[in-house]
Amino acid sequence: MPRRVVITGLGLVSPLGNTTRTTWDALVAGRSGAGPITRFDPVQSSVRFACEVKDFEPARFLDKKELRRYDLFSQFAIGAAEEAIRDACLANNWDKVDVKRVGVLIGTGTGGVATFEENCRALIEKGPSRVSPFFIPMYMPNVAAALISMRYGAKGPNYCTTSACASSAHSLADALQLIRNGQADVMIAGGAEAAITPLAVASFANMKALSERNDDPATASRPFDKDRDGFVMGDGAAVLVLEDEEHARKRGAKIYAELAGFGMTADAYHITAPAPDGAGAQDAMRLAMQDAGVRPTEVGYINAHGTSTPYGDSAETAAVKTVFGDHARKLIFGSTKSMTGHLLGAAGALEAAFCALALQSGTIPPTINQFTPDPACDLDSAPNHAVRRKVDVALSNSFGFGGHNVTLAVRRAA
């Protein structure tokens, strides 16, 4: 019989805070993480704002050499992993686990894109000799998982998932399977992204994917609102400690929730646009519920992919209505990206963590910036205010460029 997998640790570095507690408190309060871009001078860009991580202090856990040799996305990942491992009471208790059965899976959409840009400029402006010898190990997407593995001596499965905005949702699904199948007891899994760079912002802006509300960044991300005009870039990391339930209970670990199931599909339709009928999203949600052994009527909250794009939000809403029928009007279908922005490859893990916290606390975060109702997006999104409600099962949707769809099912701890 497959083993049950539970969440025993959370670590978050987000535009709303550099810990799980500060992030969650800001989320429930409905605060926006958006503001003017400070990481580079955006004066020439048509988009000059984003949801940046603020006041991040990597020197608290990295020495000077590491700071020079680790891209920002890896620094975010290590910061989140540090918190998650402490939170799971593993930091000083590695003697209680078999490190050969502890794995690390960190997803990312872009890897060390800032390092890539810096070294391209060095090559073009100063020549080959000025390219850093650390460029490849700083840039490669798998480096965050490798660094966390080496930091804690985790010798189990170790790799990176890269599937655009579904990357870290795929990492959690893979980690779940590895524990279920008996190939690991503990998985340190999640995602990290630091793509608020001149090249990445210019590319997303030029494809008209980003909101251009430069005059009011805090209200720019407005999923499901009739006047939504694109997503807001965000960055940060989310790391979850997943564990075989029996293993967790034997060592007396606290349990946030159960990661109960997953569904993974492909649209096979378009490199950036969602399938108009949302068929891939529908199947991902159905498969996740089937895998978790739950009925649609048991789902009380769906953390939507909900990026604030005109077509994406309406297609996802239509998919939820098709899958849930009349029950779609009884659950809350909200988007926390209205506050965090879109963390790209790290979004899935961040939002799965939010689902676990919502189930544990009995509080569902709001979808802020709801001003003008859209008839095509008419489900209850907890508009502008958090909702107190006991929920047994939550789903988290992540849909990436390329048509990659992942839905995770999270069940309230018994």
pLDDT class for 90, splitting at 50, 70, 90? Answer: very high
C-alpha torsion 388→389→392→393, nearest 10: -70
Q: pLDDT of 279-292, one tens digit each?
A: 999 999 999 999 99
Judge if 221 and 74 occupy the same domain. yes
Does the pLDDT at position 2 exceed 80? Answer: no
Q: Does residue 256 fall inside a structural domain?
A: no
Residues 104-141 pLDDT 10s = 999 999 999 999 999 999 999 999 999 999 999 999 99
Domain end position, chosen among 225, 250, 275: 250
In contact, 313 and 377? CB cutoff 8 Å: yes
Over residues 206-217, the pLDDT tens digits come to 999 999 999 999
The domain containing residue 218 runs over which residues?
Answer: 5-250
Query: Do 156 and 196 belong to one domain?
Result: yes
In angstroms, rounded to a whole number, what is the distance separating the alpha carbons of residues 357 and 258? Answer: 11
> Is residue 94 one of the residues assigned to a domain?
yes
Q: Is the pLDDT of residue 3 over 90?
A: no
* Same structural domain, 286 and 194: no
The catalytic residue positions are: 165, 305, 342
pLDDT digits (tens, 9 = 90+) for 45-70: 999 999 999 999 999 999 999 999 99
**Same-domain status, 210 and 280:** no
The answer to whether residues 279 and 184 belong to one domain is: no
Global pTM?
A: 0.97
Dihedral over Cα of 164, 19, 397, 303: its sign? negative
Reported as a single tens digit per residue, the pLDDT across 360-371 is 999 999 999 999
* Backbone φ, ψ for residue 193 (5° rounding): -150, 140
**Across 86-100, 125-139, 392-406, least confident range:** 86-100
Say if residue 93's pLDDT is above 90. no
Q: Which two tokens stand for residue 49?
A: 């704002």
- What is the per-residue pLDDT for 135? 96
Q: Which of 64, 92, 61 is nearest to 78 (CA)?
A: 61
What residues contact residue 179 under an 8 Å CB cut-off, 6+ apart?
3, 5, 185, 186, 187, 242, 243, 244
Residues 287 and 180 in one domain: no
Separation CA 58–CA 67 (nearest Å): 8
Distance CA 123, CA 121 (A): 5
CATH number at residue 297: 3.40.47.10
Phi–psi pair at 95, nearest 5 degrees: -70, -10
| Mean pLDDT score, 92-99 | 88
pLDDT at 1: 67
pLDDT tens string 319-355: 999 999 999 999 999 999 999 999 999 999 999 999 9
Does residue 255 belong to any structural domain of this protein? no
Residue 373 in this model has a pLDDT that exceeds 70: yes
Report the mean per-residue pLDDT for the chain: 97
Domain count, the chain: 2
276 and 241 in a common domain: no
Same domain assignment for residues 244 and 270: no
| Domain-ending residue, one of 250, 274, 306 | 250
Domain end position, chosen among 250, 285, 305: 250
Q: Are residues 221 and 147 in the same domain?
A: yes
Is the same domain home to 193 and 272?
no
